[in-house]
Amino acid sequence: MREFAYEAQPMRVVLRPGASVTATPGEAERLGLRRLLVVSGARGADTARAVADALGGACVGLHAEARMHVPVEVADRAVEVARAAGADGCVAVGGGSAIGLGKVIALRTGMPVIAVPSTYSGSEMTPVWGLTEHGAKRTGRDPSVLPRSVVYDPELTLSLPVGLSVTSGINAVAHAAEALYAPDASPLVSLMAEEGARAMTGALTGVAADPRDLDARGRALYGAWLCGAALGATTMGLHHKLCHVLGGTFGLPHAETHTVVLPYALAYNASAAPEAMAALGRALDSDDAPGALWELSGRLGAPRSLAELGLREADLTVAAHAATGQAYANPRPISEEGVLGVLRSAYAGDRP
């Protein structure tokens, strides 16, 4: 018998084409919010404007200053703007960066967040916030930052370039993979993770073949939902830890780094997590999940090596040291030497 604890997250999810403008006002109304600040990144400002317009009188401003990894000065400014506008809630429109800013506004002010995701990062489904100060990223868990309502609009993702769609999608698959072998995995979450990985990997092939395929875009967001929810319900392991170090200390791009590292982190853990590998294998229709992911990302044109992402070979030992500094959950024991092996393989990019 497998023992477990499971806690449902108190949020609503809406998925349908056009929902960013047709559903967001109704979601605000359900939550009793009448003075919403819409936040986005600079490049997502047009989309965010459309959401703000749809909210009409329930929108008190648009703040298009979100940046990757939520620098503390960006967060300070957004909180100031939200308070000055007398906002009672926040609508975060965009990828993980915009949603990350919404979460920090929630953390500081207690305002509820509605998320309207435009990538497959899955951040909207987790109570994890991040904040970057003096070049170091801090993260934490707080139920108050979990969006109260998530509006998935496949039309919003039609503009996401194929390259970013693929890497962002594999970022989501990484959430599912680590949820499957997490110490706090539970049966329902494992089903979500497996189905999320299946939906996402299938959808990515469709998106790469035709980025305007609304059905494939919808399936990818469905996958992002499930993978993100699995991440939100469990404790992350070696893969997320490594990517955190590579992004935080060496400035490597988030989704691309996840895409490159995942097959090697999974190959390292495979022998210690046979059930998780079997579930992931079912999702990928392969008996070699790490190899299948490596093949998929290469076939869809994603980067395959840390060298391609600009890491220097000399950084590998520094990264291995940083990723083993603190103890954390992982199915296979972690040693600096073992992690260095994972990093060396990911640096070279050969078949795991």
130 contributes a contact to ligand NAD by CB under 6 A: yes
Q: Binding-site residue total for ligand NAD (CB under 6 A)?
A: 27
Residue 14 makes CB contacts below 8 A (sequence gap 6+) with 23, 27, 149, 150, 151, 152
126 contributes a contact to ligand NAD by CB under 6 A: yes
Q: At CA 43, angle to CA 42 and CA 44, rounded to 5? A: 90
Nearest residue to ligand NAD, using CB? 96
41 contributes a contact to ligand NAD by CB under 6 A: yes
Binding part of the chain for ligand NAD, among 151-159, 200-208, 270-278, 291-299 by CB under 6 A, reads 151-159
Q: What's the token pair of residue 212?
A: 């305007």
20 contributes a contact to ligand NAD by CB under 6 A: no
Check: CB of residue 115 under 8 Å from CB of residue 146: no
Minimum CB distance to ligand NAD smaller for 175 or for 198: 175
State the binding string over 56-75 for ligand NAD (x if CB under 6 A, else -): ------------xx------
Minimum CB distance to ligand NAD smaller for 148 or for 254: 254
Check: CB of residue 79 under 8 Å from CB of residue 24: no
Measured distance CA(60)–CA(105) in Å, rounded = 15
Minimum CB–partner distance for residue 68 and ligand NAD (Å): 5
Minimum CB–partner distance for residue 186 and ligand NAD (Å): 18
Binding part of the chain for ligand NAD, among 57-65, 80-88, 125-133, 207-215 by CB under 6 A, reads 125-133
Cα 149 to Cα 30, 31, 90, 114, 303: the distances in Å are: 10, 9, 11, 5, 33
Cα 265 to Cα 139, 201, 227, 346: the distances in Å are: 21, 18, 17, 9
Other C-beta atoms closer than 10 Å to the C-beta of 6 total 11
State the binding string over 234-263 for ligand NAD (x if CB under 6 A, else -): --------------------xx--------
Q: Tell which one of 123, 149, 234, 324 touches ligand NAD (CB under 6 A).
A: 123
CA 342 and chain centroid, separation: 22
* Alpha-carbon torsion angle 61, 160, 231, 341, nearest 10: -130
Tokens 């108050």, located at residue: 144
Minimum CB–partner distance for residue 19 and ligand NAD (Å): 14
Considering only residues 70 to 109 of the shown chain, the ones binding ligand NAD according to CB under 6 A are: 94-98, 100
Minimum CB distance to ligand NAD smaller for 96 or for 331: 96
Q: Tell which one of 11, 23, 44, 102 touches ligand NAD (CB under 6 A).
A: 44
Cα 138 to Cα 70, 133, 239: the distances in Å are: 10, 8, 17
16 contributes a contact to ligand NAD by CB under 6 A: no
Minimum CB distance to ligand NAD smaller for 38 or for 98: 98
Check: CB of residue 90 under 8 Å from CB of residue 63: no
Tokens 């997590």, located at residue: 273
Minimum CB–partner distance for residue 143 and ligand NAD (Å): 13
Q: First-to-last CA distance in the chain?
A: 33
Residues that bind ligand NAD (CB under 6 A): 41, 43-44, 68-69, 94-98, 100, 118-119, 121-123, 126, 128, 130, 156-157, 159-160, 164, 168, 254-255
